[in-house]
A = this chain, B = another copy of it.
Amino acid sequence: MTFEITSKDNAYIKRAKKILSSSKFRKQENCFLVEGLRMCEEVLKSGNHISECYYTQKFFEKFEDIISCIGKVSEKNFIISEKISKLISDTDTPQGIFCICELPQSVQIRIEEIDRIVLLENIQNPSNLGSILRTCDALGIKNVAISSSGCDVYNPKVLRGSMGAIFRLNICFFENTSQFITSLQNQGFKIYATVPRNDSFIVGQTKFSGKCGIILGNEGNGLSNEALDICFGKITIPMNKDSESLNVAVAAGISIWEIMNRGNKINE
């Protein structure tokens, strides 16, 4: 059965708004909000539990099929007015579909099955985080570990920037960077710290083979000292001397490209 909501004071809408805007509330309620046709399709494919689906009449008329599919698995379904749609959207021109789904558990990465991993320590900007996740997925990284500090993965801007990658990656979270790196390295991984200047290894001159990974740090302050100290080595993207650094999502792109040996003209 589908209910109609037209009041902005409706309790469901108030809750959806809070889920959209507050990372603390998302954790407390153990759920997050996704919006847009593509992202809602990804949720459906992922099998995540959907508690509520909200859609406009206009969206329904265009995409009856997807509403019908979501309706079968969603606990509650609501038609909302265009005005309400704008209230619970993170964009200026919402498509008119929203799902509230359960937060996935932090997965246990099965170390024995993987040979590449990307670690993110305290990334602050949601567009950067989303873009890095999108890149990992596109370039074949399956496993990403994210520090509990930093931007929330279920922030609407991260979800949008990730273009659904969030539903395809194995994502785990870590509290203590050096402990986490140590445990990986004890299991045979070489973890490289990505740094902006002259350091032991130059990306592009280093051959990455066997179990290995990289860790990227905060936009302003880079990696923590504990991360730098414990890593197997440091890697650098050589830069023009007047440039201080690359955007972290671009640096991630080039580093991931290299650790996946995509630039390796000989082996491909």
Binds B, one of A53-61, A137-145, A148-156: A137-145
Is A243 positioned at the interface, with any CB of B under 8 Å from its CB? yes
Specify which chain B residues have a CB less than 8 angstroms from the CB of A137 in the assembled complex.
Answer: 240, 242-243
Nearest CB of chain B from residue A237's CB, rounded to whole Å: 8
Nearest CB of chain B from residue A139's CB, rounded to whole Å: 7
- Are B253 and A246 closer than 8 Å at their CB atoms? yes
Q: Interface residues of A toward B: which range?
A: 35 or more
If A204-B262, A250-B250 touch, whether A168 touches B242 (CB-CB below 8 Å) is yes
- Are A258 and B263 closer than 8 Å at their CB atoms? yes
Provide 20 A-B residue pairs closer than 8 Å at the C-beta atoms, listed in order of the A residue. Answer: A131-B250, A134-B246, A135-B246, A135-B247, A135-B250, A138-B237, A138-B243, A168-B242, A203-B263, A204-B257, A204-B265, A204-B268, A205-B265, A207-B265, A237-B257, A238-B262, A249-B250, A250-B250, A251-B253, A263-B264
Nearest CB of chain B from residue A91's CB, rounded to whole Å: 13
Identify the closest chain B residue to A263 (Cβ): B263
- With A and B bound together, what is the CA distance between A127 and B165 in angstroms? 21
> 1/0 per residue A222-240: CB within 8 Å of B?
0000000000000001111
Specify which chain B residues have a CB less than 8 angstroms from the CB of A135 in the assembled complex.
Answer: 246-247, 250
Identify the closest chain B residue to A246 (Cβ): B138
- Are B204 and A263 closer than 8 Å at their CB atoms? yes
Nearest CB of chain B from residue A207's CB, rounded to whole Å: 7
Which of B127, B243, B257 lies in contact with A263, CB distance below 8 A?
A: B257
Is A170 positioned at the interface, with any CB of B under 8 Å from its CB? no
Nearest CB of chain B from residue A141's CB, rounded to whole Å: 9
Is A73 positioned at the interface, with any CB of B under 8 Å from its CB? no
Is A161 positioned at the interface, with any CB of B under 8 Å from its CB? yes
- Are B265 and A139 closer than 8 Å at their CB atoms? no
Which of B165, B247, B262 lies in contact with A161, CB distance below 8 A?
A: B247
